[in-house]
Amino acid sequence: MTTESLRWFKSSYSENGGACVEVATNLATPHGIVPVRDSKNVSGPALTVPAAAFSAFVAGVRAGDFGTV
């Protein structure tokens, strides 16, 4: 992926028993990608999402476009 260190973080709302993801947004500007991983398996694979797609997803979540569970 890159030689830069990924700075992983998860939402402050993620104290729900571990069912959450972590993202490393520090690669969005320099490389145009946002790695995403399962917070319960930090040594597992990461999904690499284009930064524009990740931004659109976050905007949709904030707008309530995906409903509620």
Three-state secondary structure string covering the chain:
CCCCCCCCECCCCCCCCCCCEEECHHHHHHHCEEEEEECCCCCCCEEEEEHHHHHHHHHHHHHCCCCCC
Q: What's residue 67's pLDDT? A: 81
Percent of the chain whose pLDDT exceeds 90:
59
Please check the confidence at residue 16 and state whether its pLDDT lies above 90. no
Domain locations in the chain as residue ranges: 1-63
What's the average model confidence in pLDDT over 39-63? 93
Q: What is the pLDDT of residue 36?
A: 95
**pLDDT given at position 18:** 66
Cut 0.75: pTM above it: yes
